[in-house]
Each structure stands twice: as C-alpha cells, then as structure tokens.
Structure 1
C-alpha cells in the first residue's frame, strides 16, 4: 500500500505504504495501563499527511486508513481476496472492461450511502494530477488517465473509463488487459469517499469519514489517533475489540518497554536492543515468522555518476556487491531477516531466487572493486555518497553498517545522513531533495508481483505520481509489466514479471537488502487474536483483551 515503515532495527516497521518510522516512544505516547478496557493500543509514527486514502502511501497513515475504509474487496490474514463492498467484479472477454456491482445497504459513518459514484468520483479525484495525490499512478490503467495528467485542469474532471450505470453498478474501461485489477481494487487508494470529502478535503483528512470496521474518534497530532468500532459496519471483518488507538512513538525502545509494562498493546517491530532477547522475554508475547516486506535503499536516477547508463549501472552493481547482507542480518538484525535475492518477496506468487542478475545481490568485494574501476574509467568519481534515513526510527544500526562495509570493501567515501523525523525524511523524498542514497522499502498493498514492480519502478509511478521515489524509467521494463498484466494466466504473468525483474537486477534503481521477518510483540493484556497478516501487520481487528 505504500511505502511502509521500514523496520530496520530488526524487523519490519511496516512499509503499501512508504515504510513508516520504526521508532520508539514519544514522551507523550504512553497514557497509562489500558488492561481494563478492550481498546487495543498500537505502535505508530505520525502520518506524513492527512488521512485521505488516495494520498497515503506510508504506514504511519496507512494503518489507520486501512481500518477506517473498506474497498470493493478485502484480504484475509493470508492475503486471500474476497468481495467486500462489491457483490461482483465481472471481467469482459479480454479483461479490458469490468462491470462492478455493489452490495446494498453500505453506509459511511456520517450516515450517507455508499454508491457507485462514491467510487468513481473518488478514483477520478486521486487520478487527477491537479489534486496531487500520491497514489495517482494506481489508476494509470484506466481509460482517460492520461487526459487527467494535463495542465489546466480544475481537479473535478472524471476518468472517462468510469461509467455509472445506477446507484449500485458501474463499469471500468482499461487501456489494456489487466488480470490483477480485481485484486488491486483492495488497496485503500481505491476506497470510496463520501460527498463531504469534496467540500473540504483538508478538513476531511483531519477527521475522516469512512465505511470500514472502525470509525474516527480523534487525532491528537504527534500523540495518538483514536478509532472506535463502527457499529454499522457490515463487511468481512469480525471485530473482536472496541477500538484501536495508534500511539505515536519516536523511540522504539521506549515503545517496547511500554509493551513490557502493559501501557501499549502491540507493535510490529522489535528494537535492535531487544532482538536477541524478545523471543524469551516473559513480559511480552513474541512473534517472528517469514514476512513479505522488502527493505531497500534507493539512489536517485538523476544523481550524477549514478544515472541509468553504463557508468551508473556499474556503480550501482558495485555498491550492491560490496554489501555483505548475511553479515548485516547476523550481526545487526540478529538473524531476524533473510537476504534479498530479487525485488518481490518469498511470500509473493512468482518469487524466484535464481533470476538472471541475482548475483548482483551477492557479496563479492573483488568484483565490486573491478566494476567500480570500470565506472571510473568512464568518468572519475571521488565524491561522497550519503545514505539518508529518519533518525527517529531503528535504521541507524543498518546504515552505519552499510557505510562501514562500503568503506572497507569498496574503498569509497560514504557517510550516513540522519534526518530528525520520519515526516521530514518523507517530505525530503517527496520533494526530490535527496542528494544521495536514501532508505526505502515496501509492504505489499495486494498479493501480486505487480504491486512490488509496477508501483515502485514504472515510468507511470515516477515524478511524484506514485511510489517510484528514484524516478527510474525504462521502457523495456514498462512493456514487460504491461504484457504481464494482460497475460491470460497467473503463471504466464509471473514469467513476464520475472523477465521485468531481470532488468531491475541489472539496472538496480534500488538496492535490495533483505526481507524482514514479520516480527513484533504484544503485551500480556492481549488475550486472543494476536498474529500478523500478509502485510507484516498485526491482526488489529482480531485482537482482544477479553
């Protein structure tokens, strides 16, 4: 869904969306023991933006948004899709058009009905370049998208490929076949919006009105976001608690200590200081299993000496080979991750650890030096390569280690560049102010290779239109992804996605580091329902203190 919270100090601080801050406690975060109630208190970072689904692509905002809104389909904890607001999503013969019928009786928490237009207007708003929504590229396959990227728009123009038939029926015309579309619409960017949103989008983002399993209660900025159970929700989730309050932390060790003390109920990461002991800590409930989050760092495609040309590709490959991923995982993460072998994850359909170019992700110091020398022969580079990350999270140990390895194994001038808060960090990325490498990662929005590839590395997702933060562009990659989307079977699609990945493994628009375990802790107050889902996030709706 977003760039999600990258969990560097040991596991995934879950990143849809753009990985949020893996951070411990804000001095304002703990507000006392909650063992006597059935409100679940959960670890979080301050969202980058107001809580609008189509403008949320990081986990600080993504976690509450995911509970406030329901889409056409929902996913169970294993990633299996089921119709939720949709009664049916029916493809025409070549999957270039879909007819969508809604279940009757759905309402927003302001009492207004969820209609076909609630979807078509919302999707068009997100797609419209005038509105500068971060998830715009998710709608690029819908007919009329290109028209909404032109200058001179007012912001209320509609996607020509969306047609309302009646209150519970609409059709979707695509630019090309897209077999993933019925799954993609489970991503929160495809959420419906009530009419009240358009009257004042800014105010709406501070107090959103949704149709999900919870409804908004309050947002005390930099402290907490409180959600309460929605009594009118009629979807697939069986909510076992009375609400979820997301507590904002800037120090993940403090959050862990609050878990131990019973002042916080759940967090989806483990601070570096506790990775060796959390599994045997009798004051917490520990969880650690293979996960779907990939941790990477990105080098902007516009950075001199690192562009997508021969010199840039040689330097990127050299940097990747100079990193000993197994050592990072063993020494820094205490074994709570798996070395990356490609750009999706071991939990993703079509994953392979033996693609052409996978050797570029294997430690080989001598080869790295050879490649760097070849790049220098093209154009000498003796500058300093910086690695930026948010200092309020757990990324410091990883990037200290990465920089040290590059100095020792490659002999280059490298340095860390910590940025005080996650919000400042993400703003610098969004505004294209990064002058070196920067921390990235991905928590999937829906269970498909397309989500890891097209949404992060396509031309359509570059230049602020999506999550392609490095602005990488390669027409051959784009074409293979389009062919995969039009494939007649999942197996055929995955073969094409693998070919697209082989381009990425050569170009390395980002450098894959490792796959985070789905790891975290819960307090002893939680009596049932504690587990992690396919996005490496706690099963919030299932958790109960009773």
Structure 2
C-alpha cells in the first residue's frame, strides 16, 4: 500500500492480485482475479464481486470479502498516509474518511455482504472503474500477517520485509537482497497456477542504463527497464518501443519567486526546443504540447489546444528571474535525466540569459525534495494509472497529493468536479479538455515529451506484457526452449 513507483508496482503485480487482472497484452479486457465474477447496476455506481474461494494466501489462509474491506480501510486510514489513497475517492465517502471528515468506516461504500461477496458503492457513475481496479493500490494485503508483525496502520510495520512474505499472486518471495536483487518463485497455492509457465523470476536493481545493457548483452538478464539514449536509434534487433500513456514534464514550484509568475513559467516553456531535445538527448518520444498524451483513447475531441501566446519577458521580468541567483533544478540520478537537465540548462541560458543549478540525487530523495517544496524546477514523468484523461488532469487539482507544483486554481478544480457529474462520455471529455486548456495557459508544469516504453527483450521471452499504463501480469509469460 506504500508502493508508488512503476517499478514497485511491477514487483507487486507478481506477488499480489486484486479483484480483477490484466490480459497479457492490451488494456481494454477485464479478467477475473480474486473475483471470479461481478455484477453492476444500471447506473454503473454499485458493483458486487463474487470472490473465488480457491483464491487463498500463500500460507493457506482464505481471502474473503472482509479481507478487502480491511485492506481498503487500511489504505484510506489518514495516519497510514498512503499516496495512492486518492485512487479510492470514487467510492462513497472514501475521500471524507481519508481526510478525517468522518471516522466511521461503515459509512464508506465498501462492505462484505457475505463471506465471499464484496459490494462497492461509488459516489457516481464511473464507467472506467473496473480499469482502475487493476492498479496495484487495490491489491488486498494479508491482514492476519500484518497484525502479527505490529500495528495494522503503522507505516513502520515490517511485514513486507519478512523473508516468508505472505502474498496471493502468481509468485511468492524466495529471497530479497536489499539494493541488489529480488527473487520470486511460482506460488503453488495460486488459484490459476496451471497458467503460470515461468518457474522463477529475478529482479535486479540496476539504475544505470548502460549497466543494464551490458548485463543484457552478457545474458545476465532477459529484459531491461530502459535503453541507453545513444542506442535508441541504432535499430538493434532486441529493442522494443511500446506505446504508453506517459508524459515527461517539468514541475515548477509556483510558491517561490520568480516561478509564481505564469509569464515566467510560459517563457521557460517557450525557450525549450523539444524536437532538438528528443533528437539529441532522449532519442525517442514525441514533443508534448499538453500533459495528457496524444495516445489517450478518445481524447481530445479536437486536435487543437489553446497554447499561450508567445511571451517576451520585459527586462524587469528577466531581472526577477535572475534576482535570487541560480534556479535550482533537481533530477533523479538516472543518466538520461541528468542529460536532459543539462540540455535545458543550456537552452535557458542561451535564450533567456538565466542560470540554472542542477542537483541530482537518489530517486526517493528526489521525491522527498519535491514533496517538501525544496526546489525550483524538477524533471519527472507521470504514467496514467488507468486509460482515461482524468488520471492525468487530477494530478494538478489544488489539494492533489501529487500536485508538487503547489499551483491552486478554483476554476480548474471546478471543471474537474463538473466532469465527475457528467454521465455522457463526450460531455465529460469536453469538460476535461477545457480544464487542460486552462492548465496550459497557467503552465504550472511544462510538458516535455510523450514517452514510449523503451527496453531490450531477449528473443527467448515470449508473451511479454505490454500495456498503455505499464501494468504487468507475468502469469502468461513463457520461455522458448
């Protein structure tokens, strides 16, 4: 429940399983997970899930409806401080419980109507709700095991570090060498174990893309997470470039001067040569003129988007940009992030005459700095949690947990709220389109590129998962020979 990154989600998806699952490839199909079937009312606001009694924890403990009730209560409990709790806000009174406005969880729209029947009631019609359930935040957790290791709502509970980790997915933990590798083996108690072909998987912690490539070339790993930027245009035989709903962007601290000025933010954006940046540094992707990727199904309804008028800063505004010394740009210590930062540093110096100081750091430290507002500019990416524009635009809501820009705009929030009351898909997307136009006029973030998922894949690996939102299920993967 504390996992937030795609990498953490990839491992969680091997060890755990939610109510529904992802197919081997694609995103539209909804497959049974712990729930063998489900029904939904005409308004698409109330779901009843029938749980598979053969779905048990790896220690043999049954998974019943109350397991999900307690798991969802845990992630929504305020003191547990789970960032992904916002994904549950579609549920009746979930937001109010998470924000401490109500304390009685029985008022939240999650209930066990029998041992193996779970009911989820929403605030409103959410046509894509089943898609959201694929996200790892919705996975159940072994309540009995967590309680045996400490407080159920304690962040410091070490149950997940237990070498005999109890899970319910296709695989179970075999060993965990911190900062080195995680080994998992087939879960013999998994309800669909006969579909699981690969007996064991190892996840290696290799942050440097060149090191990943060397390990791949040496046959030490079968799949990399990325391709070194200098190799992306080399037409190498095992290179893969999958479409993905992911945007690389700059987040700007709008509470600090001079970036509290929208004109300054727009000027920074317009000084960026995105085509050159992609050609010379990133080597893949498409220049982004908005936050929501162009590959988002059904969005936008028009190809145009209101772009801010060209901004030419007056000398007094340029002086304000330089007044407090260099702007601080923070990035994670991945090589491509550093390269991007250096390219942007040069563009801004050449076109605006401003100085930018770059600081790179370990990813967790980087996120902490963003959360604490200890930065001016940060380079980051957002990958959709599900295939709908709302998963991007909700990030910039005034009180959003991931709104690290600290930008607040009631008009923007009102448009997001309005979209949630519209049952017609076309009307909902029109409203979100207006919200995004407003977002790009204010520019609290600067979209850089719409990404692809670039990686090397060994020819012996068959049926490797592909997903627009980077959801993975390993049960369908098999090895040739």
TM value normalised by structure 2: 0.88
CA gap of 1:70–1:396, structure 2 versus 1, over 3 A, is same
1:425 alignment counterpart = 366
Closer/same/farther in 2, CA of residues 258 and 233 from structure 1, 3 Å limit: same
2:303 aligns to what?
A: 354
Q: Which has the higher contact order (CA 8 A, sep 6+)?
A: 1
Q: Which residue of 1 aligns with 2:356?
A: 414
124, 138, 158: which one pairs with 1:203?
Answer: 158
- Any stretches of 5+ residues in structure 2 without a counterpart? none
Q: Does 1:193 align with 2:132?
A: no
Q: What is the DSSP-based 3-state SS (H/G/I as helix, E as strand, rest coil) of the residue aligned with 1:100?
A: strand
For 2:288 and 2:75, locate their aligned partners in 1 and report how far apart those are by CA, in whole Å. 33
Aligned counterpart for 2:109 among listed residues 161, 169, 177: 161
* Kept after mapping to 1: 8 A contact 2:51/2:116: yes
Residue in structure 1 matched with residue 214 of structure 2 by the alignment: 257
Q: How does 1:396-475 map to 2 (within 5 A)?
A: 396-419=338-361, 421-430=362-371, 432-454=372-394, 456-462=395-401, 467-475=402-410
- Give the number of equivalent residue pairs: 466
Does the alignment pair 1:280 with 2:236? yes
Selected match of 2:251 from 295, 298, 306: 298
Deviates more, 1:260-269 or 1:225-234: 225-234
Deviation at 1:166, TM superposition (A): 0.8
Which residue in the other structure is 1:106 paired with? 55
* Equivalent residues in 2 for 1:42-57, closer than 5 Å: 54-57=1-4
One of 447, 469, 474 as aligned partner of 1:535: 469
Structure 1, unpaired ranges of 5+: 1-53
Superimposed CA distance per residue, residues 133-169 of structure 1 (whole angstroms, 9 cap, x where no aligned partner): 121211223233313423997xx95662222211122
| 1:136 alignment partner, one of 85, 98, 104 | 85
SS in 2 for 1:354: coil
Q: Contact 1:128–1:157 at 8 Å: present in 2 too?
A: no
Matched, 1:181 2:129: yes
1:32-68: CA deviations, max 9, x gaps? xxxxxxxxxxxxxxxxxxxxxx211112322101221
Query: For each residue in 1:400-458, what CA deviation from the matched residue of structure 2 results, as whole angstroms up to 9, or x when unmatched?
Result: 11111111122222222112x2232223234x14221112212222222122222x222
Q: Partners in 2 of 1:102 and 1:418 — Cα distance?
A: 46
Task: Indicate whether 1:60 and 2:24 are aligned.
Answer: no
1:396–1:433: structure 2 CA closer, same or farther, 3 Å change rule?
same
CA 1:495–1:381 in 2, change beyond 3 Å: closer, same or farther?
A: same
Tell me the distance in 1 between the aligned counterparts of 2:102 and 2:420: 31
Change (3 A) 1:90 1:538: closer
Mapped partners of 1:380, 1:321: distance in 2: 15
Q: Give CA deviations for 1:247-288 in whole Å, capped at 9, x if unaligned.
A: 0113220110110110111013111232233x236xxx1212
Tell me the secondary structure at the aligned position of residue 394 of structure 1: helix
CA distance in 2, matches of 1:261, 1:108: 37
Alpha-carbon RMSD: 2.8
Change (3 A) 1:260 1:339: same
**Cα distance change on mapping 1:314 and 1:538 into 2, 3 Å:** same
Tell me by how many angstroms 1:210 deviates: 2.2
- Residue in 2 aligned with 1:327? 276
Alignment partners' CA distance in 1, 2:370 and 2:194: 35
**Residues 530, 137 of structure 1: CA spacing in aligned structure 2 closer, same or farther, 3 A cutoff?**
closer
Q: Shift in Å at residue 338 of structure 1?
A: 0.7
Tell me, what secondary structure is at the counterpart of 1:264? Answer: coil
- The counterpart of 1:495, out of the listed 406, 412, 430, is 430
Contact map agreement 2:207 2:334 (CA 8 A) in 1: yes
1:484 CA drift (Å): 2.5
1:218-241 per-residue CA deviation (whole Å, 9 max, x = no partner) reads 221100111112233235994331
In structure 2, the CA distance between the partners of 1:114 and 1:469, relative to structure 1 (3 Å rule), is farther
The Cα of 1:354 is off from its aligned counterpart by: 3.1
CA distance in 2, matches of 1:99, 1:378: 60
Deviation at 1:299?
1.1
- Find the aligned partners of 1:529 and 1:100 in 2 and give their Cα distance: 29
1:267 is matched with 224
Say whether 1:479 aligns with 2:414: yes
Counterpart of 2:96?
146
For residue 79 of structure 1, what is the aligned residue in structure 2?
A: 27
Deviations along 1:178-216, one digit per CA (max 9) or x if unpaired, are 333222121111111222124436222214432222212
